[in-house]
């Protein structure tokens, strides 16, 4: 298979992977001349299009000068690092994309370390060189320093460099060369990325790396064929990482990739990245192979989750009014399906409970899962995220620490350092990064970062950029001060009135507008003091036949604070829940009745 090249494009979030792939597909004549093509073609998921980020790894293929190139687009956000770790086992080469202004970021370091450990020799592309604040030479030096810090071999340190603007579809080996297309990149794919080393005469075996589904053929497993040849109706078996038999079956459909489409094949051979159907029970990391094979293909171990939430049934007074999937059995089945396909997610099940512990890499990953479920019609109650502690051999408590890299305007650097220090963060580096900006690097406990994102956005007036990634487990850092303010809690059921809400504005910040359904125990806003406050948001104005110049003025309410799902989940306290339905996101106390909340030890009853 000397004419096949398998490679992945890896980078930090927003450094331009998916946009570059758009132009790779266009310049390889993948589309018809009159074909309408969207931007960020590979981001096919609804949430990906809305958020402008890649969540799921996806495979595409192009043909160039008699070569077939299988290209995998990977997520850039640290929360979806599990997707990146899986797909790197499928490829023989990687393209490391680095922003010409931001330089190497935490996820750059993470994905590069995984690629180097697998022995891959990266191609470095300095992207967005047309930015006014680009610092090309400095970024290239930072990339080299990063390779050295990650113990790259001499071969890996001798990486080729291209300068590019992925959005405009050009790349050059020297900035003085003509900037016309991506041909220098295509040539590097051929000359720098090695052909897969495989044995077509050995029995058939492939490693399932990505799980997909099709309404017509059912479950589809995508992966690289490591050895042999297979045809439709070939008898195969699926074995797990321990070599245990999962099922014996036949390959009913074989697919290859061409651009964005899956094309039917009659035969698949070693070295190619393909998709198969007909395997019902096997999942990610399982080996699909000839019946004679007994040893599974080794799969890269995935870093463990560092955070967990409890997801359970919605038992509020408004339960069942907006969703169609409301039972614990439906929720459990859906979470089991997610845990099968997403190796970075863990699921803890207590059969006697109506809530389930879901572990993940961070608030964004868990938030995307919950948002996907609510769009499918689920109603859920979600607890505050909590970090997953460990104990060392001596019994000492360990907690996950994250490396946080912050780019911020100089006037705001002081407040950022102060806030992260209060959250038990340890300052590792503070240096100017040009343009009156500073780059700050902290090591912060994961629990200290829960809920900090929205606070950071307010402190930096929306101009700061914060990136974080798991660093290590270290000894417990001590207690961290949580949210200072109390909540305003509804003490009755009904629909909020403008008159009542207007009178409550002086007590704090409201989370809901007028004419919203509320119930006793539901949180309607943040109190401006430390204690919780029971309030009546449904009170109407008393009718009177007396007229006064001030009594009939129109009530104008201050706009309420809008919080997105990830912000709400990280904002709540341990004795609170988020009620998630297809139409609403509500905050509530775990104990709805005031006398229940006042009982000692009751706040952790769920």
Give the annotated binding-site residues for GTP: 14-19, 127-130
Give the separation between CA 605 and CA 592, rounded to whole angstroms.
Answer: 12
**494 class by beta-carbon count within 10 Å (0-12 exposed, 13-18 middle, 19+ buried):** middle
DSSP helix/strand/coil, 13: coil
Strand partners, 99: 127
- Strand 245-250 versus strand 235-239 pairing type: antiparallel
Which residue from 55, 53, 59, 66 is spatially nearest to 19, judged by alpha carbons?
Answer: 53
**Do residues 538 and 494 make contact, with C-beta atoms less than 8 angstroms apart?**
yes
Give the separation between CA 166 and CA 17, rounded to whole angstroms.
Answer: 8
Which residue from 345, 338, 273 is spatially nearest to 80, judged by alpha carbons?
Answer: 345
Residue 137 C-alpha from the chain's centroid:
31
Extract the annotated binding site. 14-19, 127-130
Buried b (16+ CB within 10 A) or exposed e, 328-351: eebbbebbeebbbebbbbebeeee
**40 class by beta-carbon count within 10 Å (0-12 exposed, 13-18 middle, 19+ buried):** middle
Q: For residue 577, what are the CA distances in angstroms to 315, 362, 380, 548, 606?
A: 11, 18, 10, 44, 10
Q: What is the CA radius of gyration of the chain?
A: 27
**Residues 6+ positions from 214 with CB-CB distance below 8 Å:** 220, 277
Give the separation between CA 515 and CA 95, rounded to whole angstroms.
Answer: 53
Give the separation between CA 70 and CA 166, rounded to whole angstroms.
Answer: 19
């Amino acid at each position: 298979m000397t004419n096949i090249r398998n490679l992945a494009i890896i980078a930090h979030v927003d450094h331009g992977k998916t946009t570059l792939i758009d132009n790779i597909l266009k310049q390889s004549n993948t589309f018809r001349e009159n074909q309408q093509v969207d931007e960020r073609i590979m981001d096919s998921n609804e949430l990906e299009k809305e958020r402008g980020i890649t969540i799921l790894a996806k495979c595409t293929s192009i043909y160039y000068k008699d070569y077939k190139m299988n290209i995998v687009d990977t997520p850039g956000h640290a929360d979806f690092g599990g997707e990146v770790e899986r797909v790197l086992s499928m490829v023989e080469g990687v393209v490391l994309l680095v922003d010409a202004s931001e330089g190497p970021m935490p996820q750059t370091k993470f994905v590069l370390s995984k690629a180097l450990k697998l022995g891959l020799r990266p191609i470095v592309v300095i992207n967005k060189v047309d930015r006014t604040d680009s610092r090309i030479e400095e970024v290239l030096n930072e990339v080299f320093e990063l390779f050295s810090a990650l113990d790259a071999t001499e071969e890996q340190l001798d990486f080729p460099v291209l300068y590019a603007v992925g959005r405009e579809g050009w790349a050059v080996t020297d900035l003085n060369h003509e900037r016309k297309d991506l041909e220098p990149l295509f040539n590097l794919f051929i000359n720098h990325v090695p052909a897969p080393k495989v044995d077509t005469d050995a029995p058939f075996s492939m490693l399932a790396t990505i799980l997909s589904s099709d309404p017509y053929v059912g479950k589809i497993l995508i992966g690289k064929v490591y050895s042999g040849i297979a045809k439709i109706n070939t008898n195969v078996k699926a074995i797990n990482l321990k070599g245990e038999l999962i099922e014996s079956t036949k390959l009913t459909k074989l697919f290859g990739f061409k651009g964005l489409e899956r094309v039917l094949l009659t035969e698949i051979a070693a070295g190619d990245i393909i998709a198969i159907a007909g395997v019902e029970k096997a999942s990610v990391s399982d080996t699909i192979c000839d019946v004679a094979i007994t040893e599974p293909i080794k799969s890269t171990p995935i870093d463990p989750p560092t955070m967990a939430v409890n997801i359970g049934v919605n038992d509020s007074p408004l339960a069942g009014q907006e969703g169609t999937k409301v039972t614990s059995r439906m929720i459990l089945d859906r979470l089991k399906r997610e845990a099968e396909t997403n190796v970075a997610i863990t699921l803890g099940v207590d059969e006697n409970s109506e809530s389930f512990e879901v572990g993940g890499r961070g608030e964004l990953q868990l938030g995307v899962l919950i948002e996907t479920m609510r769009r499918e019609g689920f109603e859920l109650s979600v607890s505050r995220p909590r970090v997953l502690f460990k104990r060392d051999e001596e019994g000492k408590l360990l907690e996950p620490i994250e490396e946080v890299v912050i780019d911020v305007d100089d006037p705001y650097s002081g407040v950022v350092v102060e806030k992260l220090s209060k959250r038990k963060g340890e300052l590792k580096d503070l240096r100017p990064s040009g343009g009156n900006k500073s780059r700050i690097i902290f090591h912060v406990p994961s629990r200290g970062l829960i809920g900090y994102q929205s606070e950071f956005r307010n402190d930096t007036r929306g101009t700061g950029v914060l990136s974080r990634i798991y660093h290590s487990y270290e000894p417990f850092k001590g207690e961290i001060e949580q949210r200072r303010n109390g909540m305003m809690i509804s003490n009755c059921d009904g629909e909020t009135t403008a008159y009542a809400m207007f009178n409550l504005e002086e007590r704090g910040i409201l989370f809901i507008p007028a004419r919203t359904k509320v119930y006793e125990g539901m949180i309607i806003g943040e109190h401006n003091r430390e204690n919780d406050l029971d309030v009546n948001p449904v009170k109407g104005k008393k009718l009177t036949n007396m007229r006064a110049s001030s009594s009939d003025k129109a009530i104008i309410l201050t706009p309420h604070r809008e919080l997105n799902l990830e912000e709400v989940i990280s904002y709540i306290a341990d004795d609170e829940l988020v009620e998630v339905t297809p139409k609403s996101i509500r905050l509530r106390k775990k104990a709805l009745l005031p006398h229940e909340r006042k009982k000692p030890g009751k706040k952790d009853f769920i």
